[in-house]
Amino acid sequence: VLDAWGTQKPDNFPNYAAGSQGPAEADQLLEKDGRHWRPIL
């Protein structure tokens, strides 16, 4: 399964760089309920 996931990622998969704040989709997921992530310090 892991090998398949490594080679067959969907085009719209929200990848993000290690150490970053994460994908914008994660922000949007919480914002629709009036919530937000805490910033990484």
Higher pLDDT, 20 or 8: 20
With respect to residue 23, please indicate whether it lies within any of the assigned structural domains.
yes
Q: pLDDT-based confidence at 10, cuts 50/70/90? A: confident
What is the residue range of 18's domain? 2-31
pLDDT at 9 over 80: no
Domain count within the chain? 1
With respect to residue 36, please indicate whether it lies within any of the assigned structural domains.
no
pTM: 0.56
pLDDT at 30 over 90: yes
With respect to residue 41, please indicate whether it lies within any of the assigned structural domains.
no
What Å distances lie between residue 29 and 5, 7, 8, 11, 41, CA to CA?
A: 23, 26, 24, 19, 21
